[in-house]
Amino acid sequence: MMNRIFLLFLVFLLLNISPVFSQQEEKPYKLKKNAISISVLGTSTFVGFTYERIFLQKISLEGGIGFIGFGGGISYYFSKLDQPGFKFFTGLKYTAFAGLLADSGSTSGVYLPFGVKLFSRNWFGMGIDIGPGVFILQPGYDFGGTVNNKPSTVLYPHGNLKLSVMF
């Protein structure tokens, strides 16, 4: 599965870079402020879709819905988004999801992403981030099969990989 995702990621990257080597005169860059993405982890929980909207020149808001949960967040880009290319960002993201089993507890939390996103001249975008997260595990069965009778707070890394259609 991961090999297929990596191969898809590589194909999209190569398709995006090919216009760099053409001899045609380029049009002025116009930032596409909306993106719909297929996302793994992040605000859409395990696998899902996100919508992102860029406000101002350095801030975006996003919301996601996934296989077993939902989330949202804000991102701050360190440079203006006035030219295509890779842009570094940080932010604050929230995610909540139900347990995978009927009796397992739900989980919700926030994480502080540090990542990079590609803004291309065409419709394609992609991003990846990782950062520390604080999550609250609700009562229910945990992954080891034991019963967790009270909520617990855990600190662990969380991240996101997304492939986007920008418009």
Contact (Cβ atoms closer than 8 angstroms) between residue 71 and residue 52? no
pLDDT in the model for residue 158:
93
How many Cα atoms occupy the beta-carbon half-sphere of 102 within 13 Å? Answer: 0
Which runs of consecutive H residues, i.e. helices, occur in 60-136?
A: none
Residue 1 has pLDDT above 80, yes or no: no
**Virtual torsion, Cα 135, 141, 145, 147, nearest 10 deg:** 100
Contact (Cβ atoms closer than 8 angstroms) between residue 24 and residue 145? no
Three-state DSSP class for residue 36 = strand
CA 111 to chain CA centroid, Å, is 12
pLDDT in the model for residue 150:
79
pLDDT in the model for residue 36:
97
pLDDT in the model for residue 45:
78
Distance, CA of 62 to CA of 44 (rounded, Å)? 10
What are the tens digits of pLDDT across the range 72-131? 999 999 999 999 999 999 999 999 987 655 556 678 899 999 999 999 999 999 999 999
Distance, CA of 109 to CA of 111 (rounded, Å)? 7
Percent of the chain with pLDDT over 90: 54
Q: Domain boundaries in the chain?
A: 2-10+32-166
Q: Where does the pLDDT of residue 57 fall: very low under 50, low under 70, confident under 90, or very high at 90 and above?
A: confident
Q: Which two tokens stand for residue 62?
A: 């996003």
Q: What angle do CA 91, 97, 99 make, to 5 degrees?
A: 145
pTM above 0.85, yes or no: no
Q: Where does the pLDDT of residue 25 fall: very low under 50, low under 70, confident under 90, or very high at 90 and above?
A: low
Q: Which CATH class is domain 2-10+32-166?
A: mainly beta
Q: Give the closest residue to 99 by CA, choosing from 65, 51, 140, 150.
A: 140
pLDDT in the model for residue 151:
81
pLDDT in the model for residue 142:
57
pLDDT in the model for residue 8:
59
